[in-house]
Amino acid sequence: MRLYNVMEPKRTPPLLRAWMLFTWCFAFLISVVSWALHRRMGADPKRFSERLGRGAPQSKDTVVWFHAASLGEVMQIAPLAQHLAQSEQTQVLVTTTTATGADWVAKQMPFATHRFAPIDTPAAIRRFLDGWSISAAIFVEGDLWPRLLEGLRKRDVPRVLLNARHSRTRARFPAVFGVLLSGFSVVTCRSEPVAKGMLALGLSADNVHVMPDLRLTVPKLAVSSDALSTLTRAVGTRPVWLAASTHPADEEAVLTAQQTVLEVCPDALLILAPRHPNRALPLLKQAESLAFGTAQRSLGQGVSDATQIYIADTFGELGTFFKLAPIAFLGGSFGQEGGHNPYEPAHFETAIAHGPHVKNFADAYEALRLREAAVQVQGPEGLGQVIVGLLQDDQAKAMGQAGLAFVENAKQGTLSYANLIATVLKRT
């Protein structure tokens, strides 16, 4: 099977030519804007020079370079990067654009070197590519910059795109992305429709692969045994459901759903874990205005018999709540946030309910629905009845088992991805 196929560059579309001209003429302005964004996200000011392409080590040892724009992408490649570092005996460089991604790499990937990604200006890209000896450039999901890719092409560096998903931008500008992706050695896609879209751009069928979602290789969330034991004793035999990673557009529906649930199951407990813990105060006020009995975890309050809604406004405990609750509604799916990762609750044998707006994880939700591990609620008004139905029969248990089986069967994904990349590295 031919995996390494560098195609001749296609005719450059006008939009790409315009971008090249813009980044050449306004490089200083782009740098100023980048500086402002760097400071706004709370990144170390001393590390801004990395965005200008500086910060390469004195050593010229080769590196496998992973570019993952933000936290969601970088979490996907941690097991794969570690596997390659060990199996190929290679150094690993990871770049991100966000400070949260940088912090996560520092804590969770001690084997890797992190740098902020260079801005797409001539000088920054030249410094970055001259400073590192890159044996392969691996991009996660996207974040493809024209000058950077052109620099890699000129240096004959193999390029890999992992976990490609449906992209409206790619669909709107096929000529542009046909050029950007034309020299990629490997493109892995989450689904057959995505792969067909890649082939329509002119990519070689030998280089396009349908693979399990890379997010399936992310380790399951941590569980605190002490916290779980305490919560389990407090909850006892009460029916319990979780609303996880909620946003304002979800929260009114969740509170209304709990009213519906209590009409049928008067002792039911809702654990409400907002995506942003600073939502706790408005949630408490809203819940108390509806006469719910509430408690707030960040204040050290526990679950009592009078607690109907437990506001879980803490960081790093979502795994514990997934382990406790047999049913979870995933937020970000009634508003415009695009949904959150459904594989996280699936690891805990938790039945999943969600709204219709899950574009960020559309393939994942579809796969779980096909296996009857998740159910879509068409509108906020229907959430309560769905939760009641799941609490009253064995459907939730069967859904949880189906979700767990799905993620367990996909755990070999890391090795499959590593084998593809190893083949590319052997051709360099």
Cα gap 383→397, rounded to integer Å: 18
pLDDT at 70: 87
pTM (2 decimals)?
0.77
Cα gap 74→112, rounded to integer Å: 12
pLDDT at 3: 38
Cα gap 181→192, rounded to integer Å: 18
Residue 131: name the closest of 113, 144, 105, 145 by CA: 113
Buried residues in 187-207 as b, exposed as e (16+ CB within 10 A): bbbbbeebbebbeebebbeeb
Cα gap 20→110, rounded to integer Å: 36
pLDDT at 10: 59
Residue 394 in tokens = 């064995």
> Are residues 158 and 188 in contact, defined by beta-carbon separation less than 8 angstroms?
no
What strands lie across the sheet with 309-311, from one edge to the other? 294-296, 309-311, 269-274, 240-246, 327-330, 351-354, 374-376
Q: Mean pLDDT of residues grouped by 10 in the chain (428 residues)?
A: 40 89 95 96 95 90 93 88 90 94 92 96 96 95 93 95 89 92 92 92 93 83 94 95 96 96 96 93 93 94 95 94 97 93 94 94 89 94 95 90 89 82 85
AA letter at 76: Q
Residue 135: name the closest of 177, 101, 85, 204 by CA: 85
- The string of DSSP codes covering 53-68 is T----S---EEEEEE-
Cα gap 104→74, rounded to integer Å: 8
AA letter at 156: D
AA letter at 128: F
Residue 326: name the closest of 376, 246, 393 by CA: 393
For the chain, the helix, strand and coil percentages under 3-state DSSP, each to the nearest 5? 50, 15, 35
